[in-house]
């Protein structure tokens, strides 16, 4: 049996290749960028007014002038005017180009307007004026040709704003993998069915499909009964049509646990079976050509743990996401786990008054107790070589939820 670390290493060494594609930027939310995105011009592209007010030459104010004739109006979207006479000022709006020869903007809150014979004058009512104030100078955020978004970035709303600004309507991205999620087991019926007393409704596949959906990944669902011949036939077709296959159930020692055997018959090479962990010990992983197969134990908490600890990181690496953040949280209270297994402790992660990320354990009733996960948002990974964990000890945190509210 291998350790969690070893399992992770094997999985990371067996990524699959996915093709690249051009994608309409505004549809590409959640996609992984495969090109560096450069600034098409300076950010901001001109000296930009940051406030509504008047633009003037600071030298005049410094020389003691407090009253300026307003000789024009500089609106956003108009070409720059010229401040011909530096004893005068130009009324200006946020987002407008700073007029030539002006170098300072006094906000409207700091002036009083006087009107005499259709002439307007601004009386400056503040003593604090700094040369250059309220002007966002051209190129101070980014310069033309600077890399704005690096390859490997997941496109979110922030990237959308930048792509739109530079007029990039198409981006090169990794094509998402096609993913099949398969439940197995004769005891399982679907949502709309009424289970007999000895049956249950299948839940794992919906948990996984939703977890993928939260990350903008589509998947297709299948169900297989505990029938070797049928499993072989159906799996054979599924293997031809999908890049990543996630099975739940049928990988333990039971007499109806056919999955590992059938997968190998179908030419999927077993890369490991069983990991020193709880829950999820019977976890199986294999590969056939450019396809990866994750056969997860069917117990709902086991399925979920294996998915977040192994499957999702595999997908992220396959997509070429750079800098996937790693988190640590402090245990809220002492915790003991004696078996020589990595234990994935269900927790609720929160920030304490000191601003530290804490983890409150919710042990639950074992790998079947998926209702316990309702109060949890993460797992804490307790390494197998340690048995006693102290309150405040920082440990690796595996987030479960993409929607953080
Ligand atoms: P297995 O790994 O097939 O031995 O299943 C272990 C336990 O998980 C059994 O109690 C199954 O009924 C349950 N189980 C398996 N698959 C699912 C599923 N898709 N949804 C809910 N429970 C499941
Ligand atoms: Mg089963």
Distance CA 249, CA 188 (A): 11
- Whether the ω angle into residue 118 lies within 30 degrees of 0, i.e. cis, is no
Cα angle at 118 between 114 and 124, to 5 degrees?
25
What is the three-class DSSP state of 199?
coil
Residue 194 DSSP code:
P
Distance CA 61, CA 63 (A): 5
Binding-site residues, ligand 1, Cβ < 6 A: 183, 185, 187-188, 200, 202-205, 248-250, 252, 254, 297-300
- Which residue lies with its CA nearest to atom 15 of ligand 1? 298
- Which residue lies with its CA nearest to atom 17 of ligand 1? 298
Which H helix or E strand runs over 230? helix 228-241
Please report the atom of ligand 1 found closest to the CA of residue 202: 20
Please report the atom of ligand 1 found closest to the CA of residue 251: 2
- Which residue lies with its CA nearest to atom 16 of ligand 1? 298
The predicted structure's pLDDT at residue 323: 87
* Cα-to-centroid distance, 176 and ligand 1 (Å): 28
Q: Is the dihedral of CA 242, 244, 248, 250 positive or negative?
A: positive
Res 282 pLDDT > 80: yes
pLDDT in tens, 177-200: 999 999 999 999 999 999 999 999
Average pLDDT over residues 244-271: 96
Q: What pairing do the DSSP bridges indicate for beta strands 277-278 and 342-351?
A: parallel
- Which residue lies with its CA nearest to atom 23 of ligand 1? 298
For residue 141, name the pLDDT band (cuts at 50, 70, 90): very high
Question: Of the bound ligands, which one is closest to the alpha carbon of residue 187?
Answer: 1
| Best probe residue, ligand 1, of 231, 282, 299 (max atoms within 8 Å of C-beta) | 299
Residues constituting the chain: 405
Res 405 pLDDT > 80: no
pLDDT in tens, 186-238: 999 999 999 999 999 999 999 999 999 999 999 999 999 999 999 999 999 99
CA distances from 312 to 266, 320, 347, 382 (A): 24, 12, 19, 19
Res 28 pLDDT > 80: yes
* Cα-to-centroid distance, 297 and ligand 2 (Å): 8
What is the three-class DSSP state of 183?
strand
pLDDT in tens, 52-93: 999 999 999 999 999 999 999 999 999 999 999 999 999 999
| Best probe residue, ligand 1, of 183, 185, 191, 252 (max atoms within 8 Å of C-beta) | 185
The predicted structure's pLDDT at residue 404: 79
Provide the mean pLDDT of the chain.
97
* Cα-to-centroid distance, 378 and ligand 1 (Å): 21
pLDDT in tens, 360-386: 999 999 999 999 999 999 999 999 999
For residue 402, name the pLDDT band (cuts at 50, 70, 90): confident
| Best probe residue, ligand 1, of 298, 301, 305, 373 (max atoms within 8 Å of C-beta) | 298
Question: Do the beta carbons of residue 99 and residue 90 sit within 8 Å?
Answer: yes
Please report the atom of ligand 1 found closest to the CA of residue 203: 20
- Which residue lies with its CA nearest to atom 5 of ligand 1? 298
- How many Cβ atoms are within 10 Å of 117's Cβ, its own excluded? 4
The predicted structure's pLDDT at residue 403: 83
For residue 285, name the pLDDT band (cuts at 50, 70, 90): very high
* DSSP per-residue string spanning 14-28: T-----EEEEEGGG-
Res 306 pLDDT > 90: yes
User: What is the separation, in whole angstroms, between the first and last Cα of the chain?
Assistant: 38
Question: Do the beta carbons of residue 57 and residue 102 sit within 8 Å?
Answer: yes
Question: Of the bound ligands, which one is closest to the alpha carbon of residue 226?
Answer: 2
Q: State the alpha helices, DSSP H only, in 283-383.
A: 300-306, 312-318
């Amino acid at each position: 049996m291998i350790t969690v670390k070893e399992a992770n290493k094997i999985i990371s060494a067996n990524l699959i290749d996915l093709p690249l594609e051009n994608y309409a930027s505004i549809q590409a939310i959640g996609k992984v960028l495969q090109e560096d995105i450069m600034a098409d011009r300076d950010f901001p592209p001109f000296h930009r007014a940051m406030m509504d007010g008047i633009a003037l030459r600071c030298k005049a104010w410094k020389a003691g002038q407090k009253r300026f004739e307003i000789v024009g109006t500089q609106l956003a979207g108009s070409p720059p005017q010229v401040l011909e006479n530096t004893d005068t000022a130009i009324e200006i709006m946020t987002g407008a180009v700073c007029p030539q020869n002006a170098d300072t903007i006094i906000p409207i809150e700091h002036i009083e307007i006087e009107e005499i014979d259709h002439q307007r004058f601004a009386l400056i009512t503040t003593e604090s004026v700094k040369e250059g104030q309220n002007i966002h100078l051209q190129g101070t955020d980014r310069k033309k040709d600077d890399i704005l978004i690096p390859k490997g970035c997941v496109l979110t709303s922030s990237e959308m704003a930048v792509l739109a600004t530079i007029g990039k309507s198409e981006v090169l991205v990794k094509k998402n993998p096609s993913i099949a999620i398969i439940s197995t087991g004769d005891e399982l019926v679907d949502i709309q069915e009424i289970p007999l007393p000895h049956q249950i409704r299948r839940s794992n596949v919906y948990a996984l499909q939703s977890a993928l959906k939260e990350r903008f990944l589509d998947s297709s669902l299948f169900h297989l009964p505990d029938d070797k011949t049928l499993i072989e036939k159906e799996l054979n077709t599924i293997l031809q049509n999908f890049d990543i296959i996630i099975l739940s159930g049928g990988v333990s020692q039971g007499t109806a646990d056919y999955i590992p055997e059938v997968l190998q018959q179908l030419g999927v090479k077993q890369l490991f079976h069983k990991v020193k962990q709880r829950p999820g010990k019977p976890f199986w992983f294999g590969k056939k050509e450019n396809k990866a197969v994750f056969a997860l134990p069917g117990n709902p908490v086991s399925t979920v743990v294996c998915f977040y600890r192994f499957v999702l990181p595999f997908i992220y690496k396959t997509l070429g996401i750079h800098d996937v953040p790693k988190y640590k949280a402090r245990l809220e209270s002492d915790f003991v786990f004696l078996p020589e297994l990595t234990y994935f402790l269900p927790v609720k992660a929160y920030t304490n008054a000191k601003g530290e990320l804490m983890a409150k354990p919710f042990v639950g009733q074992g790998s079947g107790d998926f209702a316990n996960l309702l109060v949890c948002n993460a797992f804490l990974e307790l390494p197998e070589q340690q048995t006693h964990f102290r309150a405040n000890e920082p440990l690796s945190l595996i987030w479960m939820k993409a929607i953080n509210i």
